[in-house]
Structure 1
Amino acid sequence: MTSMRHALPWPRTSARSGAASGRLSTLPGHFSALLRWLGLLLALLACAAAQAQQLNTAAALFKVNRYDLLWRVDADASAVMEQSMEEEALSDQGAQGLTKYTRMYNKALSTLEVLEAYTLKADGRKLPVGADGMQKQSGMASAGTAASWPDAEVIQITFPNVQKGDRVAWKIRTRQHRPQLPGWASLQEYLPPLVDYDSFHARIEAPQALGLKVVATGIPLVASTSGTTAVWESQARLAASVIDNTPYNTLVSYPRLLASTVGTSEELVALFARGFDAKAVVGDKVRELALQITAGKRSTQDKAAAIHDWMRKNIRYVAVYLGTGGWVPHDVDWILANGYGDCKDKALLEVTLLRALGIEAVPVLISTFNEYMPPELANGFNHCIVYIPSLQLFADPTDNRIPFGSLPLADSGKPVALALAQGGRMMQTPVLDPARNSIVVKTVLDIDARGKAKGSVEIQAEGMAGTELQDRLAALPEGMNAIAVQKLLETDHWRGRGRADYAPVQREQQTQALAIRDLEIDNLLNDPQSGSINPQPRLAMPTYAIRNTGNYGAASRSYAMGCTPIRLREEAELRFDPAYKLLRIPQDFKQEGPDGIAFEARYQREGNTVKTTRELTLSQPRQYCTPAQYALRKPAMDAILKNLRGTVLFEQ
């Protein structure tokens, strides 16, 4: 699914910053160790990044000999962070990856000093980083929807002469003199088991009266006091381990040290709402605009829909941060004058327009990552949307693909913090409904004695599946339908042609039909003399049942995985030339599994024609599966996948 563009920063600390995610790489403040390791993996392994995360090849490239962290928080929520790290290159690739270290910070809120940086050679020589190895870049400019950040400052350290067996070391002090939100100091230190940590030591100090909350999971934590100062210390040695492919809910899975002056998400969203509501000023210009947009509309539903649709079509998503702009929106007049804004800007304007009509609306904090369980302390949010209490409805004005009344996949089924009039409140956004997130594929192919096929494929998609199909079609240049079909076939090493027929994409509805007519596949059968073929030949599109089941190849999982509620129906008719002798077709099969799994397949032979009807429904009440739920579902899903892979055997 298409990623959301995020405007809320995620205050996290880090050993190394990285570029594992364009979403996170634009955020203010420090970065977590999680980003550092994933980013370095991507830089080293490029296209093999996903595999690298799964197999933990990073552990063969480098290790952390020592990571020390000291965080002192003052009574006004200002803070000083000192971090020092020594990493060892275990291979030539690891040495290449450790040669550069980059740290970005918000110079409007903090200062950064590099206290020490050097390469320690295997023979004991210490090579300090010279002045030319310390590079500073002011401001960050980005194209498209990525955030631009004039107040960002980037420090890059380039270590000299790093070879296999050498170590690189640095020490940095960051002073945050102005918090992101009044009174909010926050630390999130994640230690994903991608590499070995020979030694991790963290110390946190804060005035007892500040009431700082500190939580450690997967690592020990000892709390004590020294006069009026509260102290927390953690020491650990952590070993790398295999990480499941595409893990979900890592914020509650990886070893971590969390600290915050704001304990709950309800308190955090209330704090955020103070600055947000101060900007939600209903002036004459806003009131007139709201009345103009909703002229002729009578019901609250219709008025809210009109406002939302106007926002989607007239206010572009563009993020430019200044000062605390990562958490504080621009003024309404500024947003209207420029015709753009980031997520909280767009949420602010939509909320203000609705309030101008007497429709109560409030901001909502949410995460668009694969995180469906909130961490122990308030944080983990990176996006802002809108909630309309009288309609009990969420809306995301940043995604112009999604009509009013629906949410994008990244927003669905997520824990959210709402700033209601009565105070902050936690809720959950609606989970995708398979009754409205569905795909029907109908295939008819005539297969001649040479293995060539002629026919058609029709696809009808609804809900988020409809939006995804719309995304593909909207990206297709005019007049390129025939070439698009040819390239689609080539993806599966087929040679052929056809034309794509579809109605113009209408984003007001999450429904889309696509018909591939005059379809010809010259080499559908690799060996027409004898072989096999799936009774539902699949084009290179994510519209088939087998491509929506999830990956159940592992015997077990240690981390959650994605489980998308969906209904998929396949109807196929393969008409074989009389020259073929059909030896076997798959058996009818029905599986009623646990956790909302339902599958039924019927296969019918009429002469040399094989007719297939298969329907898979996944209706679990969430969009992830825990390791225990994976184990519960696996036997049923394995049986379903076995049937979906069944083939028609033939010979001539």
Structure 2
Amino acid sequence: MAAHQPRAGAGRGRRHLVALCLLLAGWGAHAQPAGGSVNASTEPAADLAPATLESDIHLFIVQKDGSVVEHDDSTMRANTTAGVDQVAERYVWFNKDIETVTGLAAETIDADGSVHKVGPEGIRDVQEPRSAGAPTFEDGVLRTVIFPGVQPGSRVHLVFGKRRTRPLQAGTFSYFVEPTGEPVEYQRLVFDLPADMPLHADARGYVALPPVTANGRTRYAFEYRHGPYAPLEPGAVAYVNWGDRLMVSTVPDFAAFAARYREAAVDPSTADPSIVALAQALTAGASDPHEKAQRLYDWMRFNIRYVALFLGETEAVPHRAVDILRNRYGDCKDHVALFTALLAAVGIRAETAMVNLGPVYTLPDVPGYGESAINHVITWLPDLGLFADTSSGGIAFGYLPAAVMDRPALLVNEGVLVRTPATQLHARSARLAIQVGRDGDAAYSYYVEDAGASAEPERNTFRRAARETRQQVALQRLRQTGLTGTAHISTGPLDATSGPFSTTTTGVVDHLVWTSGTTALPALSSLSGGIATQVDYWLAQPRRTQPWACVGGDFDETAQIILPAGVRISDIPGDVPGDVSVQSGALAYTARYVVDPASRTVQIERHLSAHFGHQMCSPEEFAQMRGTLLRIERDTHAQIVVRARSEEAGAGGRPPPA
């Protein structure tokens, strides 16, 4: 779900020590800090990682019913001023309904060994912000620990216990951890379970020690060390796709994991008369199952507010469907529960599909909840052959948000892993008309039509925006193109919930052409958001060593630029005779330039087709297409060179060429 998973230990998946600014992070990759060797000097070298995890010891004592007592002891060192900001406040996340924090003690240790204890005034509880005021989700609490006197070279030491009296799933335990990006000098995770409750593990980079059994219990231990991490490259998918991570679970396989969720989610209220009556009213007059499902889907996304909590942060049981309908809000599992109940009321089969929401394209080999494991649920409609995510809000029925596409999906009823669609229709058509006046300013008209997956998100942007905000969006897109001027936008109908969506932007660009001398004006066929923007995104990293996100589509752009009588076109882009055509694997690009000297008009046509067949591309794929991308980038950033005729006539007294 859309917010950050509570984290544990020193890993990227650390369940308790969460930086508050990450709690509202959305979909996208975040760079990891890079650094050199660790130095405790108060004047650290510039190439040090901002902070280092010196020691991180976690002990989980698990009982047969799934209840857990946890003991955490960790020390972090601030290496730089940025590291001070990183470690001076730490957060212990807990679910106040089923967990208590005990024995919390914290201190700052100066480089010379002086100790500053954290007093009661430095420890306070704050409401988990993602609950967004929804009473049934106000169980998440952040115990905030503010360390005094932290400087470069200081260490912050935090010790606490946590007791979970009621498991997220009865009789089970699972835990996921991945590196947070700071160097790790030593980390140890110990899981103490009843001997007849075996722990299954999928460890990459974490070293499993031999289990030790005594007195009817078995201890499983894992150790981890890592130096500075390479920065996450722009556009790269999450580190966990190829890097270190650990998942442990007492559930032996995904079929058993699905069965436990299915059994816990049984809800007699799904056939409540209020649900049946609503479903029948919403689908009245519709006979086609697809239309019925679409009507119910649209009602859900516009009427049931989404509370963005990861699956597994609270008990993995949906609220009762009738209560969700009454409250008009819910998290992802609540959305699925009510949506499937509405569908069932009109005879449409549907079931829960468990996925990962984020830039993670594989699941660990053992099942469990976690930020980079299972953390979200969507709906599978087998008779329609469609997945649907009503919690996404701005996605039309029949499409999926990119954050859940091309991912493993565990079907809860069947207990089998399938995969969500890797591709879907994504098309954009742009028409740009520019007429330059005698003063060099240019009136323009810009029409864009989005079709497929991109249409409804664009429509939803303007549907939810005030009039002033819409105009700000138009002006921002003009500025992102590198132009200044005015922008007024009008849109297609906003009451539709599917189908293409169009916008028309008009205005004046300042000083597109200078009335004296030579001007190199951009050979535009689109404002920001078109082919040039897409290619720039792919080329944000010159050479790739990490897998990256490659979402394709079809782009068509045409432009007409009319110049004033006082200038002559000197040069245009393109190969002789003005055409460009490049193709490599998934990419096909063409451009055509036509000049009419008599009317001083330049016409531009560009087309890009990008069909990768998946959403995660390898560094090798990037290397193969890099030359093609560079050739496309060169053309989309090309310029049209024009000269003022009066200036040319004055150069040596010779008239300009025709």
TM-score using structure 1 length: 0.86
1:127 to 116, 119, 128: 116
Partner of 1:13: 8
Superposition deviation, residue 620 in structure 1: 1.2
Aligned partners of 1:31, 1:625: CA distance in 2, in Å? 30
Superposition deviation, residue 348 in structure 1: 0.9
2:594 to 600, 604, 616: 604
Change over 3 Å in CA distance of 1:58–1:221 after alignment to 2: farther
Superposition deviation, residue 462 in structure 1: 0.9
Partner of 2:557: 570
Change over 3 Å in CA distance of 1:252–1:530 after alignment to 2: same
Assess if the C-alpha contact under 8 Å between 2:186 and 2:224 holds in 1: yes
Assess if the C-alpha contact under 8 Å between 2:56 and 2:72 holds in 1: yes
Superposition deviation, residue 127 in structure 1: 2.3
Per-residue CA deviation, residues 480-506 of structure 1 (Å, 9 max, x unaligned), is: 776765565455564433532322213
Partner of 1:551: 538
Partner of 2:641: 649
Partner of 2:196: 209
Per-residue CA deviation, residues 308-358 of structure 1 (Å, 9 max, x unaligned), is: 233234433346999985521111221222233222222111211222333
Aligned partners of 1:585, 1:220: CA distance in 2, in Å? 60
1:542 aligns with 2:518: no
Please tell me the residue identity of whatever aligns with 2:227.
A
Change over 3 Å in CA distance of 1:535–1:390 after alignment to 2: same
Partner of 1:521: 509
Assess if the C-alpha contact under 8 Å between 2:523 and 2:637 holds in 1: no
Assess if the C-alpha contact under 8 Å between 1:251 and 1:374 holds in 2: no
Assess if the C-alpha contact under 8 Å between 1:16 and 1:102 holds in 2: no
Change over 3 Å in CA distance of 1:543–1:173 after alignment to 2: same
Moved more, 461-470 or 612-621: 461-470
Assess if the C-alpha contact under 8 Å between 1:71 and 1:204 holds in 2: yes
RMSD: 3.3
Assess if the C-alpha contact under 8 Å between 1:279 and 1:330 holds in 2: no
Partner of 1:428: 419
TM-score using structure 2 length: 0.85
Aligned partners of 1:512, 1:424: CA distance in 2, in Å? 38
Aligned partners of 1:40, 1:5: CA distance in 2, in Å? 9
SS of 2:454's partner is helix
Please tell me the residue identity of whatever aligns with 2:15.
F
Change over 3 Å in CA distance of 1:651–1:241 after alignment to 2: farther
Assess if the C-alpha contact under 8 Å between 1:147 and 1:321 holds in 2: no
Aligned partners of 1:351, 1:51: CA distance in 2, in Å? 35
Please tell me the residue identity of whatever aligns with 1:13.
A
Please tell me the residue identity of whatever aligns with 2:162.
T
Please tell me the residue identity of whatever aligns with 2:175.
L
Please tell me the residue identity of whatever aligns with 2:124.
Q
1:113 to 83, 102, 106: 102
Assess if the C-alpha contact under 8 Å between 2:435 and 2:442 holds in 1: yes
Per-residue CA deviation, residues 178-217 of structure 1 (Å, 9 max, x unaligned), is: 210122211112114x322222233333334212112221
Aligned partners of 2:606, 2:539: CA distance in 1, in Å? 20
Aligned partners of 1:195, 1:53: CA distance in 2, in Å? 8
Superposition deviation, residue 249 in structure 1: 3.7
1:334 to 319, 323, 342: 323
SS of 2:374's partner is coil
Assess if the C-alpha contact under 8 Å between 2:51 and 2:83 holds in 1: yes
Partner of 2:384: 391
1:154 to 139, 142, 154: 142
1:589 aligns with 2:580: yes
SS of 1:497's partner is coil
Change over 3 Å in CA distance of 1:55–1:572 after alignment to 2: farther
SS of 1:621's partner is coil
Per-residue CA deviation, residues 263-287 of structure 1 (Å, 9 max, x unaligned), is: 4444323221212233563234433
SS of 2:153's partner is coil
Assess if the C-alpha contact under 8 Å between 2:594 and 2:603 holds in 1: yes
1:415 aligns with 2:405: no
Please tell me the residue identity of whatever aligns with 2:416.
R
Please tell me the residue identity of whatever aligns with 2:148.
P
Superposition deviation, residue 62 in structure 1: 1.9
SS of 2:582's partner is strand
SS of 2:607's partner is strand
Aligned partners of 1:181, 1:301: CA distance in 2, in Å? 34
Assess if the C-alpha contact under 8 Å between 1:416 and 1:426 holds in 2: yes
Superposition deviation, residue 94 in structure 1: 2.2
Aligned partners of 1:147, 1:551: CA distance in 2, in Å? 42
1:241 aligns with 2:229: yes
Please tell me the residue identity of whatever aligns with 1:15.
A
Moved more, 365-374 or 288-297: 288-297
Aligned partners of 1:158, 1:301: CA distance in 2, in Å? 54
Change over 3 Å in CA distance of 1:507–1:547 after alignment to 2: same
Unmatched runs of 5 consecutive residues or more in structure 2: 36-45, 645-658
Assess if the C-alpha contact under 8 Å between 2:515 and 2:566 holds in 1: no
Per-residue CA deviation, residues 586-606 of structure 1 (Å, 9 max, x unaligned), is: 222212212x21111112222
Partner of 1:311: 300
Aligned partners of 1:257, 1:144: CA distance in 2, in Å? 31
Aligned partners of 1:255, 1:77: CA distance in 2, in Å? 26
Change over 3 Å in CA distance of 1:641–1:270 after alignment to 2: farther
Identity of aligned residues (%): 23
Unmatched runs of 5 consecutive residues or more in structure 1: 18-23, 25-29, 43-48
Please tell me the residue identity of whatever aligns with 1:77.
G
1:639 aligns with 2:634: no
Aligned partners of 1:162, 1:356: CA distance in 2, in Å? 59
Partner of 1:21: none
SS of 2:300's partner is helix
Aligned partners of 1:38, 1:144: CA distance in 2, in Å? 16
Change over 3 Å in CA distance of 1:357–1:504 after alignment to 2: closer
Change over 3 Å in CA distance of 1:644–1:122 after alignment to 2: same
SS of 2:449's partner is strand
Change over 3 Å in CA distance of 1:537–1:322 after alignment to 2: closer
Per-residue CA deviation, residues 134-164 of structure 1 (Å, 9 max, x unaligned), is: 3234x54657588973323332222222222
Matches within 5 A, 1:428-447: 428-433=419-424, 436-447=425-436
Assess if the C-alpha contact under 8 Å between 1:201 and 1:233 holds in 2: yes
Assess if the C-alpha contact under 8 Å between 1:141 and 1:148 holds in 2: no
Per-residue CA deviation, residues 386-426 of structure 1 (Å, 9 max, x unaligned), is: 11111111122223433322222323332211112xx3121
SS of 2:537's partner is coil
SS of 1:430's partner is coil
Count how many residue pairs are aligned between Structure 1 and Structure 2: 620
Aligned partners of 1:551, 1:527: CA distance in 2, in Å? 36
Aligned partners of 1:551, 1:54: CA distance in 2, in Å? 22
Assess if the C-alpha contact under 8 Å between 1:573 and 1:612 holds in 2: yes
Superposition deviation, residue 37 in structure 1: 11
Change over 3 Å in CA distance of 1:253–1:601 after alignment to 2: same
SS of 1:66's partner is strand
